[in-house]
Amino acid sequence: MFQGIWIDKEDGQYRACLRGITKEQLPEGDVTVRVSHSTLNYKDALAITGKSPVVRQFPMVPGIDFAGVVETSSHPDYKSGDSVVLNGWGVGEKHWGGLAEFARVSGDWLVPLQAPFSLRQAMGIGTAGYTAMLCVMALERHGLTPDGGPVVVTGAAGGVGSVAVAVLARLGYEVSAVTGRPEQADYLTRLGARHIVERASLSAPGKPLAREQWAGAIDVAGGYVLANVCAAMCYRGVVAACGLASGMDFPATVAPFILRGVTLAGVDSVMAPRAERLQAWKRLASDLDVTLLEAITQEVPLARVLELAPQMLEGKVRGRVVVAVRG
């Protein structure tokens, strides 16, 4: 028996608990991983609380990412003892995920642990940091450079936002950090933000076009926040959108796109091709100051995940939450 977070739905009752699981219960896959660390992401919090229909089948072990050591493998790319990382691919939604001491998955979903990161550091970055780097890469593909103008990051005190601010600042961008928590200003400044923007200024219905402020943006919010960010982009600016913390709606007009040539680039981390995943992790190794991970990260035991999930949805959790699956 090993420990894991277990989500089930019986007689219309949605329940999440910490319980024992056997290896015989693990789903199909050609690689079994002894999980060292996982994380608590916004999507995990939705799954654990049942606030959104993230879980597609029951029972389910949540956890959209993990880092660990291969125990057994019939996949040609991995052998016992290899250190590996998984992000996305529907784990924690359709396939049992990383919030348990063992995971069994397809080896095609894994990537080798990128030097110089430890397993813990890899989860300090996690899916949130990996997504943040995919967003940075999307901005670069559309021609954005540090001398092109300032960049804004919404949800800046969260997991994606924290890593995005740190990476962009290190690359030389002038970063504006949007947060609804003024007490996080010092934290965001330490990560490299030069300006703090109150989320309330972007959270209400705005004009189709606003004063040009930013050449680039990384948005995790959606809703009015994304609409107002698009309206305030400079001519030929680019927005990388990867989240819906403020809602799935996009109450905007086409004005920014046809009058200023703004580009809205969608970023999906779940099904991203392997080549992009490897590139993102390589870029994180070179463009993220690892010493900042301690400022971004808090580590908790597996047993605290159930307590923290609703707090994350209420916006009370800062930065990255690393889960030490093995205590």
The whole-angstrom separation of Cα 18 and Cα 306 is 8
- Put simply, whether the predicted model's pTM sits higher than 0.95 gets the answer no
Cis, peptide link before residue 116, omega less than 30° from 0: yes
- All CATH 3.90.180.10 domain ranges of the chain, comma separated, are 2-113+295-324
Hey, what CATH topology would domain 127-266 get? Answer: Rossmann fold (3.40.50)
What per-residue confidence (pLDDT) applies to 327?
63
The three-point CA angle 240-245-251 to 5° equals 70
The helix or strand, by DSSP H or E, that contains position 48, with its residue range, turns out to be helix 42-49
Residues contacting residue 239 through CB under 8 Å, at least 6 positions apart = 216, 217, 218, 219, 226, 229, 230, 233, 262, 263, 264, 265
Q: What is the pLDDT of residue 316?
A: 87
Residues of the chain with pLDDT under 70: 327
Q: Which CATH class for the 2-113+295-324 domain?
A: alpha beta
In the chain, ranges of CATH 3.40.50.720 domains: 127-266
262: tokens are: 């703004």
Asked if residue 101 lies in contact with residue 46, where contact means CB atoms within 8 angstroms, the answer is no
